[in-house]
A and B are shown apart, each in its own frame.
Chain A
Amino acid sequence: MLKSKTFVKKTRSGGIMKIVREHYLRDDIWCGSEVCTECKQEETVLQKDACIESNLCSFPHYLLPDTNIVLSQIDILEDPLIKNVIILQTVLQEVRHRSAPIYKRLKDILHDKEKHFYTFTNEHHRETYIEREQGESANDRNDRAIRISTKWYSDHLNNTPTTDKRLKVVLLTNDRGNKEKAEESGLLTYRCEEYVKSLIANPELVDRLALTNDDKNEITSSKVLFPEHLPLSRIQSGIKSGTFQQGTFRASRDNYLEATVFVHGEGDDSTEVLIQGLQNLNRAVHQDLVAVEILPLNQWVAPSSVVLQDEGPKEDDVTEEEEAELKSGPSGAASRKPTGRVVGIIKRNWRPFCGMLFLSQIKEATRHLFTPADRRIPRIRIETRQAATLAGQRIMVAVDGWPKHSRYPNGHFVRSLGSAGDKETETEVLLLEHDVPHQDFSQAVLSFLPKMPWNITEEDMAVREDLRNLTVCSVDPPGCTDIDDALHCRDLPNGNQEVGVHIADVSHFIRPGNAMDLEAANRGTTVYLTGRRIDMVPELLSSNLCSLRSSVERLAFSCIWEINDKAEIVKTRFTKSVINSKASLTYAEAQMRIDDANMNDDTTKSLRGLNRLAKILKKRRIEKGDLMFTLYRWVQIQITLLFPRETNSMVEEFMLLANISVAQKIYDEFSECALLRKHPAPPPSNYDILNKAAKSKDMVIHTDSAKALADSLDAAQVDGFPYFNTLLRILATRCMMQAVYFCSGMDSDFHHYGLASPIYTHFTSPIRRYSDIIVHRLLAVAIGADSTYPDLMDKHKQSALCNNLNYRHKMAQYAQRASVAYHTQLFFKSRGILNEEGFILFVRKNAIIVLIPKFGLEGTVFFENKDKPSPKLIFNEEAPSLTVEGHSFNMFDKVKVTISLDASNVQHQKIRMSLVEPVISGVSVAPSEPEPEVKRAKLDR
């Protein structure tokens, strides 16, 4: 049956359009229940004995939540206890419209076979479709549609002759009007709270209930603390007229009463608006999209330099002194910044936050404050009966809302991550806080894995070049299971050499658009933490089918060059291939083979050839001004105290070569949509600190080009201070910009500053980087080995993908750093207090940053202390130097510090450094006694 749906819409240009859509109603939509004999369904989702033990419903029943229940209580629905739920299409559509993240979570539940969630397409069912009536709002219509469907279900289930008559459908709604109407028409209806509280077996589920509006009123006094947020329409018109600015809210890490809003202007220019004071912050939370109003010029203030932590549950009164203190910051007109106040929230960006419970002083209380691990997030008030068990655990809390009369936002407990300080828990926190997707791969994703045992088929062989006879080998760090590159080198009859780089053909397994592809695209990269790896693709691929292990046949994407004696490329070609690696070597093994004159097998010869060419290539690249090598590798090697081996750079060299060759090829072929990587040259001002540092030792660093920089860094040596050069290189590294992925159609600057290459991309690690998969696909299309698909050629879609990849890479880096920091803390916890020598890396206004070469550890020595009067500090920005009580600290000065673990704050344990030498009275501390040997031995065990 055909119906048409008519609605009126406002177009973007301000016009009004009437839109008519065809809407088909059918009568072959089944109910999805196991008991039903009427419906001709092939598969049933809802179980026959759908029993959740409950006081209210002692009979088997299906749950049917309305939209608001799904939106606010998704945490409850996700609980494994809740099964056999009917999700109406009306609800699904509305959820999708209102909240994308919740929609995604709902979709995940629906896919989970264990949960028995069924989507009933009531909008297309002939008996449950309703048209909007005159004078009915869209919401009322949807509520009615939900009631009609509930009614249909209960009638339908009762009509089935074989049915156990006790099976019922329970409508869950918190809407009073809806509930009354449903009861009138004889439906079984409960409020969500009512129902959840009635669940006998699982009292802890109550904690996961989100607070609804009714409950919030009980919690807080009626005193209004915050100004009302403006409605969205007012905000939009305000933004249009320029009275308000729209921007991302970024809370200050150090001061809970201060925040900045980044206002994105036209093009690149964006301004920062300072917000001070609780009233002006007006319930905005870090990362929200807010509208701000700029205050008149005479109310502008300077950012305060005071560190303020919200100390605890001071019930609803904004402490006046703190506000006063805040205002008394430096008031020089020069340091004043545009100041504003938040007038409304355009989009909340709440996610579940990790943190710990701050127990209420009252023993019996069920309302507690939760302190998030991220200092930029305000405390959250939650209600729980398991406070005693949750104390000392890392937990996750979701925010439900922030009413205007409440000092803190309200939230609810989501789940516990484990006890604080536990390695597992801390890693979990770290991943969550850095937004690293780390759940196990879903069934949908795994379903796209090839069936085992997997073999290379005839068809594969037919379209691929057979390179199994070549002596290919791989060289990787020890313990590497995801081997994505392998090499070969052989002499050609004409005297030239053939070098091949073989990369795992991941794009053969991950086809565009399927669940596995989407998951990988979302994850973006494999994240390596200390002691843990979070894969981008399922392990079967990463460690087996795609891993180019020795003595097995593997699919590869090969880049093969003909190279002459001077290491110049004569010919390049790309091909999909099948290889059989002859050896998986570690760097050390490879080096040994090259050095061992007695070994003369094919693999070793091949390695020697590669090594020889790599040396020439490397020399040439350094001449051109490659910084990556001179900076990053060097620093890394120095810090991790690895012995540099030629083989490291040998593999590196050919990977670079392959990346550049591929970049050129895909750009030639697809000038609009090639995925490339660029590294912008840093603006000259970035080098200020480096120049100042060099000047302090009477040296000049040329920064006009990468080449000049590399050369002058090489030349910068101080006699008797061998570590100086390393320090300088560390500083230079800090001046660099971040390398990013981009789509060639959206940018014009392709230059890779660090590698001194005009074009670059990532091709060689498709197992651990999604960018490489895209590059593989582009290249495959370019050589005619694979077909294309629309998204690959859409530069806007690619650009969006690049943004995600860049974000994921950045977060992965942060997570890695945080992981290293955490393990450093563990290390120092076991070592106790240590005295070490270090060098001053930076000088700050009230502190110096010290690098300890022995551990490659960086730490801050503060000269200001909360409880002690601060010493006399004179900061000279030009030098830069800091004079503390007459002793001046310059960059690169040698100091001695004690290192200890500051565990006073369980959530934020940190390494503390204090000055030992030079001795300054009142500032430095006495060197601590090394702890007795006995104790240490115990710990070491």
Chain B
Amino acid sequence: MATVQVSEAEKVYILHGVRDDLRVDGRGCEDYRHMEIETDMVSNTDGSAKVTLGHTDVLVGVKAEMGKPRPMVPDEGYLEFFVDCSANATPEFEGRGGDELGMELSNTLYKVFNNRYSVDLKSLCISPGDHCWVLYVDVLLLQCDGNLFDAISVAIKAALFNTKIPKVHISEDEEGGKEIELSDDPYDCMRLNVENVPCIVTLCKVGHRHVVDATLQEKACSVASLIISVTHKGTVTCVRKVGGGSLDPESIFEMTETGKRVGKALHAPLMELLQEEESLGKKRQKVGFLG
């Protein structure tokens, strides 16, 4: 993971700032950096979004492909995650350098998103036991400047919101033979309900307090962080502790409460933004990668 070296004096400076709710870049402890979202970036995916958070830059593409449902849950589709840590993001990822981080990220994403409470997996089913949609969520890290989880989760939510799955229907003949028919109209497609899709809020314990959306410097001062996925209602669906240091139960409780609050506040403007962008339709000026 991309790290920076921080001197003792810098550390003290950061710690003191956090204690007084005034961070190095002027934010309060529960404030996010400036965030930019654009959807429908990549035309050959079924849904895509790019999120810029500070200097962290993440691109997510969703591809819907037909597959066989898992035997235990024959009436549900599923999601697959793959995180590509390109060497563009940081030289550390060169060669196989990013694989470990990629695995870790995709495992976490799998836990957070691939369940029936987050995404309506039943709607991905085409014919129980035979065919279902598999959503391949590909995450590409373009630039790392801390707080990957939050950026990725927002991008995934936006990409899922943007995903258009072609409508198919199963025609059945007398003998029970099934034939999948594809609608002729490219506009005739299914949208996912992303209402319950959680966002991840990462809280970093810095000194005695914790901060949201830590920069790399802040991260360097932190011993442990808590990854919390929160739905729009404020329900915590997943909590995971990362980092070498320990957290006492009290601060875990505090951090969870903060996470719930911050997460809830994150969802409402995000959805608003996505809907606004959608309503612009084709008139929207695309920014793309060079904007």
Residues of A within 8 A of B (CB): 4, 6-10, 14-16, 18-20, 132-138, 233-234, 236-238, 240-241, 243
Contact = CB atoms under 8 A, between A and B. Distances in A.
B62 to A, nearest CB: 11
A22 B183 CA distance: 22
A230 to B, nearest CB: 10
B46 A18 contact: yes
B66 A14 contact: yes
Contact of B179 (A8, A9, A134, A237): A237
A20 B66 contact: no
Nearest to A135: B187
B182 A10 contact: yes
Given A10-B180, A10-B182, A16-B166, A243 B43 contact: no
B285 interface: no
Contact of B173 (A4, A10, A16, A234): A234
A4 B186 CA distance: 14
B66 A16 contact: yes
A238 B185 CA distance: 26
Given A19-B44, A237-B179, 4 more contacts: A16-B168, A136-B185, A236-B179, A241-B177
B166 A18 contact: yes
Interface residues of B, number: 22
Contacts, number: 56
B25 interface: no
Contacts of A6: 43-44, 186
Contact of A138 (B43, B45, B168, B184): B184
B276 interface: no
Contacts of A134: 187
30 contacts: A4-B43, A7-B186, A8-B182, A8-B186, A9-B182, A10-B182, A14-B66, A15-B65, A16-B65, A16-B66, A16-B166, A16-B182, A18-B44, A18-B46, A18-B63, A18-B166, A19-B44, A20-B43, A132-B186, A134-B187, A136-B185, A137-B185, A233-B171, A233-B179, A233-B181, A234-B173, A237-B171, A237-B177, A237-B179, A241-B175
A14 B181 CA distance: 10
Given A8-B166, A18-B46, A137 B177 contact: no
A134 B187 CA distance: 5
Contacts of A16: 64-66, 166, 168, 182
A238 B173 contact: yes
Interface in B53-68: 63-66
A4 B184 CA distance: 18
Interface of B: 43-46, 63-66, 166, 168, 171, 173, 175, 177, 179-182, 184-187
Nearest to A139: B184
Contact of B66 (A15, A138, A234): A15
B39 to A, nearest CB: 15
Given A234-B173, A237-B173, A238-B173, A135 B185 contact: yes
Nearest 3 A/B pairs, CB to CB = A134-B187, A20-B44, A8-B166
Nearest to A22: B43
A704 B187 CA distance: 69
Contacts of A240: 177
A137 B185 CA distance: 6
Contacts of B46: 18
B35 to A, nearest CB: 28
Contacts of A20: 43-44
Contacts of B185: 135-138
Q: Which of B63, B177, B185 has the most CB of A within 10 A?
A: B185
A374 to B, nearest CB: 36
Contacts of A15: 65-66
A556 B181 CA distance: 59
Contacts of A14: 66, 180
B46 to A, nearest CB: 6
A132 to B, nearest CB: 7
B40 to A, nearest CB: 11
Contacts of B45: 18
B57 to A, nearest CB: 23
A840 B168 CA distance: 68
Nearest to A132: B186
Contacts of B168: 16
Nearest to A136: B185
A276 to B, nearest CB: 25
A660 B44 CA distance: 56
Contacts of B179: 233, 236-237
B124 to A, nearest CB: 13
A25 to B, nearest CB: 16
A237 B179 CA distance: 7
Contacts of A238: 173
Contacts of A237: 171, 173, 177, 179
Contacts of A19: 44
Contacts of A136: 185, 187
A241 B179 CA distance: 11
Contacts of B187: 132-136
Contacts of B44: 6, 18-20
A7 B186 CA distance: 6
A10 B168 CA distance: 10
A448 to B, nearest CB: 42
Contacts of B180: 10, 14
A205 B45 CA distance: 53
A233 B185 CA distance: 18
A6 B47 CA distance: 13
A237 B173 CA distance: 8
B66 A241 contact: no
A132 B282 CA distance: 12
B172 to A, nearest CB: 9
Nearest to A131: B282
A243 B132 CA distance: 27
A243 B46 CA distance: 37
A236 B166 CA distance: 22
Nearest to B175: A241
B134 to A, nearest CB: 11
B251 to A, nearest CB: 47
B66 to A, nearest CB: 5
